[in-house]
């Protein structure tokens, strides 16, 4: 059942998570997890879905990984825009986005020295038990919380305002005063903002940007005057 035959290209082999252990009592009552040397409160809890004979055996190991058809490549790309003109004003807007995309954010949340970075502040501690988004921090023996699992999969869908421009064509009264045939003032920008469900301070289009890989898209503002005499 872990084979890729019949699956989409880029499908993932992952453990199925079941929340975060909040106390030792929950750990003692759950299947034995063998991914790390020790399981402690704040670790990710996994479901026992298979064993040597294909049935749950009370042990969480590689036999409990499941193939799921969730991948980084989007199922669809889309874009739309419009140009609106009213008297001497004009507005150009272009949106772009993707849908059907799943990102693995484990490498993002756990990036940096010993896994410390601003994206991983919402960690489990005894004070945040039941409220934290991510498992406890650890500097060693972290496999229980960093192994490939659906815990770290998040929607990579986004809608980005790719560019917008507002223009004003100068009236003939001003054109005649400055001996111009025509003139247009304009201001706009590129990559001004994006809507996504990640809840992370990253570019959803290039999630790994700025972390030793691709250069992130930058916000660009511009303004000018186009005139002819």
pLDDT in tens, 135-189: 998 888 889 999 999 999 999 999 999 999 999 999 988 888 888 889 999 999 9
Q: What is the predicted pLDDT for the residue at 6?
A: 77
Q: What is the predicted pLDDT for the residue at 154?
A: 94
Token pair of 126 as six digits: 């005894």
Helix (H, G, I), strand (E, B) or coil at 106: helix
- Rounded CA-CA distance 159/89 in Å is 26
Residue 8 has pLDDT above 70, yes or no: yes
Q: How many beta carbons lie within 10 A of that of residue 103, not counting itself?
A: 23
Q: What is the predicted pLDDT for the residue at 213?
A: 61
Q: Which of 16-25, 77-86, 103-112, 208-217 has the lowest mean pLDDT?
A: 208-217
Q: What is the predicted pLDDT for the residue at 174?
A: 85
Q: What is the predicted pLDDT for the residue at 175?
A: 81
Q: What is the predicted pLDDT for the residue at 180?
A: 85
Q: How many beta carbons lie within 10 A of that of residue 198, not counting itself?
A: 19
Residue 212 has pLDDT above 70, yes or no: no
Residues 98-129: tens digit of each pLDDT: 999 999 999 888 876 655 677 778 899 999 98
| pTM as predicted | 0.83
Token pair of 40 as six digits: 């402690």
Q: What is the predicted pLDDT for the residue at 7?
A: 79
Chain-wide mean pLDDT for the chain? 89
Percent of the chain clearing pLDDT 90 (strictly above): 62
Q: Report yes or no: 14 and 153 within 8 Å, Cβ to Cβ.
A: yes
Percent of the chain clearing pLDDT 70 (strictly above): 93
Q: What is the predicted pLDDT for the residue at 89?
A: 97
Q: What is the predicted pLDDT for the residue at 121?
A: 81
Burial (CB < 10 A; 0-12, 13-18, 19+), residue 56, is middle
Q: Report yes or no: 137 and 123 within 8 Å, Cβ to Cβ.
A: yes
Per the model's pLDDT, the better-predicted residue between 8 and 125 turns out to be 125
Token pair of 193 as six digits: 């903002």
Mean pLDDT along residues 14-28: 96
């Amino acid at each position: 059942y872990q084979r890729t035959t019949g699956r989409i290209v880029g499908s993932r082999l992952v453990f199925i998570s079941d929340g975060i252990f909040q106390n030792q009592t929950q750990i003692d009552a759950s299947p034995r997890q063998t991914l790390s040397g020790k399981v402690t409160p704040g670790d990710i809890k996994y479901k026992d879905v298979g064993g040597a004979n294909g049935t749950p055996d009370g042990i969480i190991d590689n036999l409990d990984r499941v193939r799921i058809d969730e991948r980084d490549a989007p199922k669809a790309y889309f874009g739309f825009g419009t140009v609106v003109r009213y008297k001497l004003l004009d507005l150009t807007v272009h949106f772009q986005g993707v849908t059907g995309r799943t990102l693995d954010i484990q490498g993002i949340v756990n990036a940096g020295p010993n896994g410390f970075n601003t994206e991983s502040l919402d960690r489990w501690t005894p004070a945040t038990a039941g409220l934290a988004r991510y498992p406890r921090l650890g500097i060693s023996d972290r496999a229980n919380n960093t192994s490939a699992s659906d815990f770290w999969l998040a929607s990579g869908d986004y809608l980005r305002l790719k560019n917008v421009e507002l223009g004003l064509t100068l009236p003939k009264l001003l054109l005649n005063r400055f001996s111009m045939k025509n003139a247009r003032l304009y201001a706009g920008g590129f990559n001004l903002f994006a809507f996504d469900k990640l809840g992370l301070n990253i570019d959803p289009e290039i999630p790994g940007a700025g972390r030793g890989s691709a250069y992130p898209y930058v916000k660009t503002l511009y303004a000018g005057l186009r005139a002819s005499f």
